[in-house]
Every structure is written in structure tokens, then in C-alpha cells.
């Protein structure tokens, strides 16, 4: 888990009724199963309802969110949800807008946003809103490291993929930054390949940027003699060997051969494409042979 150093400002309108020692009236014997002292500290009534104060006592007492268990954070989020607190405000309260980030708290905030989206309460929140919260005042290396960890959080793999693609899209003019970040944060060629869905022809040829950066990444790993490296022939085979139309593949190779630092990969890519063509020709020959045999048997 990434270290967190979360800070929250004390509101100026704090009153005695909101102090941890203040006891909320108990009006229902069928109370939620929360110990009374704990309920007082959370500003929760005995019947499970939240007080009218805008801040929970955790915020007033400046208790770091990353030190709280999940259920305690979710209680605060439930209150925010009932009061229709916008995710932007929730993000600031959770200390996610700057500095080191706690992955667990960030994932809970993403769940909070998803809940609003599913209920139709937000029409303007999209992936770039989430992306901006993640990237503001953080380096590319920090963001890529966070996204790698986020992929392992339950139900967050697809969100991490979308945010990673948004990051790459925002770095079109400085993609070397993300290539370096992949190297430093332990990504493998297979992981990056999957994030950008380069096995889908639509994604590969909608724009060559991600595919080119992926090739640069594989070349960088080989230059560093990194344990994650894959041979150039294997990289070419993975990219072009099985999936894409011949014409599109040839256009892509021509593009690569114009790039000084990747020009040498043209040979590997062309060999991968030639193997693809040969497999295609073999399939055609096999189909023709089967057709001829069927016709011969029919005429007998």
C-alpha cells in the first residue's frame, strides 16, 4: 500500500454539541449494533441516523482517514451520500487531491463515485474527473505506481485500465514520460499490452501512439537487460502475428521504419507479418485440398 499523509482542516463553526463527549438522544430501542461510545464519537444517533452537522467528528479531530478501518470510512460516506455531498467535496475531505495517496481510501472514493453514477445523480462525472483527482500535483511515476496497485483491488481492474489509457492520452506529446514510469514501477510488457488492449485492431490503428510506446518500452527493457524483457521477435509476433489485417499491418510497419530509434524493429515486424501470411496461405491450401477431396468423392 502506498504511504499516505492525509491532512484535514478543522471547521471554524465547531460547537460543543459536536464534541466527542456529547451524547446523542436515544429514541429507538432497536438501535443499530454500534457501541454507544463509538456511536457518539462518530456523531451517530442510537437509531443509526447521522446528526445534522456537515462534518463527522473524525474530520473535526483531524483523524487521518488512512488510519481508519473500511467500515468507519463507509459510515462517513453513507452520511455524505444521504446529504448528496458531491464526489469532488468528498475527494477533498478524504485528502486525495494532493500529496501521497492511500490506495485503499482512493478505491473507496471510486466506489462512492460509482454509486452516484449508477443512481443517475451525476451527469457530468466521467473518467477524466476521476483522472484529474488522481493526477493533480502528482508525477507520472506516482500515478503509474498507483494504477498498478489499483489493478489488484477488487472490482477496480477495469477502472485502473481506463485511467491508465487516459494518462497515456494526456501524454501524447511526451510519451517518454510514461515509458520511463512503466520501467520504474515494475510493469511488464504483457501488462501494458493488456491495458491498451493492443490485441484489438481498432485500438492499435485508431492511433499508433500506444503501440509505438509499447515497442519503445520493450526496447528499453532489452537495453537495460531487465528481467522483464522479451525478445524483439516475440514482441513483433505478439503485436502483429495473429490478429490484424495484412494491409493495416503493413502500414504500421512503414510507420515504425520511419522512426530512427525503432527502425531496426522493422525487420522483426516484417518477419512476424510474413509468418502470418504463410499461415494464411497454408490455411487456403488446406481448404482447397479439402474442397477438391470432397468434390472427388461426390463424383465417384
pLDDT in tens, 82-129: 888 888 888 888 888 776 778 888 888 888 888 877 776 655 455 556
Spell out the residues 6+ positions from residue 159 whose beta carbon is closer than 8 angstroms to its own.
Answer: 110, 130, 150
Q: How buried is 61 (Cβ within 10 angstroms: 0-12 exposed, 13-18 middle, 19+ buried)?
A: middle
Could you tell me the residue ranges of all domains in the chain? 188-300
Is pTM beyond 0.85 here?
A: no
Our separate counts of H helices and E strands in the chain read: 15, 0
pLDDT in tens, 140-178: 888 888 888 888 887 888 888 888 888 877 766 565 778
Residue 99: all three cell numbers together = 500529496
pLDDT in tens, 213-232: 888 889 889 888 888 889 88
* Rounded Cα gap, residues 80 and 115, in angstroms: 12
* Rounded Cα gap, residues 137 and 226, in angstroms: 30
Phi, psi of 50 (to 5 degrees): -90, 155
Q: In this model, does residue 280 exceed pLDDT 60?
A: yes
Residue 240: all three cell numbers together = 502483429
Amino acid at each position: 500500500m502506498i504511504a499516505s499523509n492525509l491532512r484535514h482542516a478543522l471547521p471554524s463553526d465547531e460547537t460543543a454539541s459536536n464534541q466527542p463527549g456529547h451524547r446523542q438522544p436515544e429514541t429507538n430501542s432497536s438501535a443499530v449494533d454500534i457501541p454507544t461510545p463509538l456511536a457518539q464519537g462518530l456523531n451517530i444517533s442510537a437509531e443509526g441516523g447521522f446528526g445534522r452537522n456537515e462534518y463527522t467528528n473524525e474530520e473535526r479531530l483531524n483523524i487521518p482517514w488512512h488510519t481508519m478501518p473500511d467500515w468507519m470510512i463507509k459510515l462517513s460516506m453513507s452520511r455524505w451520500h444521504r446529504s448528496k455531498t458531491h464526489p469532488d467535496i468528498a475527494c477533498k475531505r478524504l485528502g486525495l487531491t494532493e500529496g501521497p495517496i492511500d490506495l485503499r481510501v482512493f478505491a473507496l472514493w471510486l466506489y462512492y463515485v460509482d454509486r452516484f453514477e449508477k443512481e443517475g445523480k451525476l451527469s457530468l462525472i466521467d473518467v477524466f474527473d476521476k483522472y484529474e483527482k488522481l493526477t493533480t500535483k502528482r508525477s507520472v511515476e506516482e500515478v503509474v505506481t498507483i494504477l498498478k496497485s489499483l489493478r489488484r483491488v477488487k472490482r477496480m481492474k477495469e477502472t485502473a485500465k481506463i485511467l491508465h489509457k487516459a494518462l497515456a492520452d494526456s501524454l501524447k506529446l511526451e510519451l517518454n514520460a510514461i515509458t520511463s514510469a512503466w520501467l520504474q514501477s515494475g510493469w511488464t510488457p504483457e501488462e501494458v499490452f493488456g491495458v491498451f488492449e493492443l490485441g484489438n485492431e481498432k485500438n492499435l490503428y485508431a492511433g499508433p501512439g500506444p503501440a509505438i510506446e509499447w515497442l519503445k518500452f520493450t526496447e528499453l527493457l532489452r537495453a537495460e537487460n531487465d528481467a522483464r524483457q522479451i525478445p524483439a521477435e516475440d514482441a513483433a509476433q505478439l503485436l502483429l502475428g495473429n490478429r490484424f489485417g495484412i494491409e493495416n499491418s503493413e502500414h504500421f510497419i512503414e510507420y515504425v521504419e520511419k522512426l530512427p530509434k525503432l527502425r531496426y524493429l522493422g525487420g522483426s515486424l516484417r518477419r512476424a507479418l510474413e509468418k502470418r501470411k504463410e499461415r494464411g496461405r497454408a490455411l487456403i491450401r488446406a481448404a482447397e485440398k479439402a474442397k477438391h477431396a470432397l468434390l472427388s468423392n461426390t463424383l465417384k
